[in-house]
């Protein structure tokens, strides 16, 4: 399967990440609404990686199973990590000056959502949207 | 150096048409430019055309809310026009329904909304 990696170091990388995910979502045959959802989720998570994770990278993977296609994205950083994941996934919770909708909102926009984080080591978020 | 989004003056109103994929710094720059322009022109209304935006995430959503709130405090009404249906669906699911932000489907209707309230 196609796998593409992209750095997430600066705010400009968030824009490039959105474009990359848009192309992958089109290639996977997602509807316009589903494309918009995963691109928006990617934008939220990419910003988290840049702003809170102090930079990292995104991996884009096109999925092809017998009966379905999809897009899987991973956002990985070696930043400070998240101490309380449950709290971080609550609507309105924010560690910075955001709206606190990024993580919880991104989770609502995709079919599968996985997060692993360790304080002092970093955070990995993986999301999947199926056609 | 941040790029600027052009702000056009039409009578007592300002028109902003966002035609590029917004990066965060541009969104913040627009906030500064627009509030300055409202004051400079004593604008009564602001139309923000987002029909070219394929994605509105929580950062851009907050920028839109903030501009609307800042405009109100400065005495100008803001109407956001042309949001794509897929963007509207995604925004609500994301948890942002942009409370307090006036919207219209097209620039014409947004302009009519602003003119209807003129003294």
Both tokens of B38, joined, read 């409202």
Q: Does B10 touch chain A (CB under 8 A)?
A: no
Contacts across the A-B interface (CB distance below 8 Å): 71
And the tokens for A112? Answer: 């599968």
* Structural domain for B90, as ranges: 7-116
Q: Are A60 and A8 in contact (CB under 8 A)?
A: no
Position B28 in a domain = yes
A23-38 pLDDT, tens digit each: 999 999 999 999 999 9
Please state the domain count of chain B.
1
CATH of the domain at A96: 3.30.565.10
CB-CB under 8 Å, A19 with B96 = no
Nearest to A40 among B23, B24, B94 (CB): B94
> Does residue B2 lie within any of the structural domains?
no
pTM of the model: 0.92
Alpha-carbon dihedral angle through residues A23, A24, A28, A32, given to the nearest 10 degrees:
-50
For residue A86, what pLDDT is reported?
85
Please say whether the beta carbons of B57 and A47 come within 8 A. yes
The domain in which residue A70 lies consists of 3-130
Nearest by CB: A102 against B25, B56, B58: B58
Stated as kind and residue range, the H or E segment containing B69 is: helix B58-73
Measured CA to CA, the distance from residue B83 to residue B105 in angstroms comes to 7
Total domains in chain A come to 1
pLDDT at A99 over 80: no
* 3 state SS of A27: helix
Say which CATH number the domain at B16 has: 3.30.750.24
Average pLDDT of span A6-10: 96
Q: What is the mean pLDDT of chain B?
A: 92
C-alpha closest to that of A34 among B20, B55, B51: B55
3-state secondary structure of B18: coil
Q: How many CB atoms lie within 10 A of CB B6?
A: 10
Chain A neighbors of B94, CB-CB under 8 A = 40, 44, 101, 105-106, 108-109
Q: Which two tokens stand for residue A77?
A: 């950083």
Segment (H or E) for A102: helix A102-108
Query: For residue B1, is it within any domain?
Result: no
């Amino acid at each position: 399967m196609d796998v593409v990696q992209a750095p997430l170091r600066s705010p400009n990388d968030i824009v490039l990440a959105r474009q990359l995910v848009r192309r992958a979502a089109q290639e996977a045959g997602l509807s316009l609404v589903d494309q918009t959802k995963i691109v928006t989720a990617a934008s939220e998570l990419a910003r988290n990686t840049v702003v809170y994770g102090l930079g990292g990278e995104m991996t884009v993977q096109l999925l092809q199973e017998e009966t379905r296609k999809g897009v899987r994205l991973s956002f990985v950083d070696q930043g400070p990590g998240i101490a309380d994941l449950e709290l971080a996934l609550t609507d309105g919770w924010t560690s910075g000056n955001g709206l606190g909708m990024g993580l919880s909102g991104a989770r609502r926009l995709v079919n599968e959502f996985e997060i692993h984080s360790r304080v002092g080591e970093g955070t990995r978020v993986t999301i999947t949207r199926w056609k | 150096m941040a790029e600027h989004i052009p702000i056009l003056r039409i009578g007592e109103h300002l028109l902003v048409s966002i035609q590029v994929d917004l990066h965060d710094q541009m969104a913040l720059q627009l906030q500064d430019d627009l509030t300055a322009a409202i004051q400079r022109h004593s604008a009564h209304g602001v139309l923000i055309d987002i029909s070219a935006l394929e994605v509105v995430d929580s950062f851009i959503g907050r920028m839109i809310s903030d501009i609307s709130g800042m405009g109100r405090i400065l005495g100008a009404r803001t109407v956001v026009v042309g949001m794509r249906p897929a963007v509207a669906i995604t925004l609500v699911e994301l948890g942002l329904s942009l409370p307090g932000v006036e919207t219209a489907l097209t620039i014409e209707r947004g302009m009519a909304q602003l003119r209807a309230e003129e003294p």
